[in-house]
């Protein structure tokens, strides 16, 4: 891939994407430039990716073919208005800000800008991301192919209608944090029943990883796989009963709903 890639905003998600593109061989550090107002963010990005950084957003636009808007939703309006009139039709702009609609981005950047809105997640850094994207009115089929290629190189990517992106944010965008809490809880539980911390953590991580791989490899519904582990009157069904009593299922659903609702609220704040 010969395109130059720029990031406006050099935070954790930008690091994850840039690092993923480099690991996948789709970009070199020399073809990436990131901007951020925070020196610490620029230093972290440069250290993690080997790419150059700047405090000048316009420099990123001028030197990039694909510009990723990776600032916080609350900062997006100010950043986009700074860039208004500076983005030529030859450039593609990709936003990863939760809740900021294509309509708002078009209003801030200009009607001629080619836009794609993406909701990625941080496992992109290790090539296991779960992303979804929606095309703006000016985006072309080539743009869709490019974004699909970039995101697929760092995980799974799905094109969706923009109306679904808030729900994607709640599930896969915020979901890694929910899974980390589960891993931490499994590790704590192992320590509570007598395992050394290092062993408990290693077993917890591999258990979650292996279970996810089982779902992918077999194509079976998770409930089917769960039933295969839970023998009558055994240890697993006793544990499952405790999970139901503790409301785990309802708590996870509530977490996704809360994250989705917050994405909607962030979008409304931009109006």
- Quick check: 6 pLDDT over 90? yes
Element holding 100 (H helix, E strand): none
**83-118 pLDDT, tens per residue?**
999 999 999 999 999 889 999 999 999 999 999 999
Measure the CA–CA gap between 132 and 117, rounded to whole angstroms.
9
- Quick check: 21 pLDDT over 60? yes
User: What domains, with CATH codes, occur in the chain?
Assistant: 5-165 (3.40.50.720), 175-266 (1.10.3730.10)
**Per-residue pLDDT at 270:** 61
Q: Is 174 helix (H, G, I), strand (E, B) or coil?
A: coil
Ramachandran angles phi, psi of 268, nearest 5°? -70, -30
Binned at pLDDT 50, 70 and 90, residue 8 comes out as very high
**Per-residue pLDDT at 1:** 60
Q: Which of 66, 69, 45 is nearest to 57 (CA)?
A: 69
**23-72 pLDDT, tens per residue?**
888 999 999 999 999 999 999 999 999 999 999 999 999 999 999 999 99
What is the residue whose two structure tokens read 């799974």?
156
**176-197 pLDDT, tens per residue?**
999 999 999 999 999 999 999 9
pLDDT, mean over the chain: 94
- Quick check: 140 pLDDT over 90? yes
Total residue length of the chain: 271
Give me the helices (H) in 57-152, please.
57-63, 73-83, 102-109, 141-152
Tokens representing 232 are 């009558």
């Amino acid at each position: 891939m010969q395109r130059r890639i720029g990031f406006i905003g050099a935070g954790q998600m930008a690091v994850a994407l840039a690092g993923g593109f480099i690991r996948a061989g789709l970009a070199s550090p020399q073809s990436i430039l990131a901007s951020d107002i925070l020196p610490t963010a620029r230093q972290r990005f440069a250290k993690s990716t080997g790419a150059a950084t700047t405090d000048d957003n316009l420099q990123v636009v001028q030197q990039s073919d694909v510009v990723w808007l990776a600032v916080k939703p609350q900062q997006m309006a100010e950043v986009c208005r700074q860039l208004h009139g500076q983005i030529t039709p030859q450039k593609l702009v990709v936003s990863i800000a939760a809740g900021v609609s294509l309509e708002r981005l078009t209003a801030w950047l200009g009607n001629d800008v080619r836009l794609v809105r993406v909701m990625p997640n941080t496992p992109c850094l290790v090539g296991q991301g779960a992303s979804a994207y929606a095309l703006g009115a000016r985006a072309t089929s080539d743009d869709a192919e490019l974004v699909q290629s970039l995101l697929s190189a760092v995980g799974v990517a799905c094109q969706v209608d923009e109306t679904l992106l808030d729900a994607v944010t709640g599930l896969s965008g915020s979901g890694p944090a929910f899974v980390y809490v589960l891993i931490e809880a499994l590790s704590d539980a192992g320590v509570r029943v007598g395992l050394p911390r290092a062993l408990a953590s290693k077993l917890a991580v591999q258990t979650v990883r292996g279970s996810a791989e089982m779902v992918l490899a077999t194509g079976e519904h998770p409930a089917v796989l769960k039933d295969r582990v839970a023998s009558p009157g055994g240890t697993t069904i006793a544990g499952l009963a405790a999970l139901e009593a503790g409301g785990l299922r309802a708590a996870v659903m509530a977490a996704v709903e809360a994250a989705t609702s917050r994405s909607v609220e962030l979008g409304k704040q931009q109006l």
